[in-house]
Amino acid sequence: MAVGHEHHDHDHDHSEAACREAIAELYTYLDGELTIERRAVIQRHLDGCNPCLEAYDFEAELRIVVQHHCHEDVPESLRQRIFSQLGGERQSPSAPGQTAS
Site residues (vs Zn ion, CB under 5 A): 19, 49, 52
Residue 21 CB, shortest distance to Zn ion, in Å, is 9
- Residue with smaller CB distance to Zn ion, 50 or 67: 50
Helices (H), ranges, the chain: 16-24, 26-31, 36-48, 50-71, 76-89
Residue 77 CB, shortest distance to Zn ion, in Å, is 27
Residue 29 CB, shortest distance to Zn ion, in Å, is 13
- Residue with smaller CB distance to Zn ion, 19 or 78: 19
Is 45:16 a contact under the CB 8 Å cutoff?
A: no
Calpha distance 3→9 (Å, rounded): 11
- Residue with smaller CB distance to Zn ion, 34 or 49: 49
Residue 75 CB, shortest distance to Zn ion, in Å, is 28
Q: Which among 66, 41, 55, 46 has a CA at the least distance from the CA of 88?
A: 55
Q: What is the dihedral of CA 8, 9, 14, 15, to 10 degrees?
A: 40
- Residue with smaller CB distance to Zn ion, 53 or 74: 53
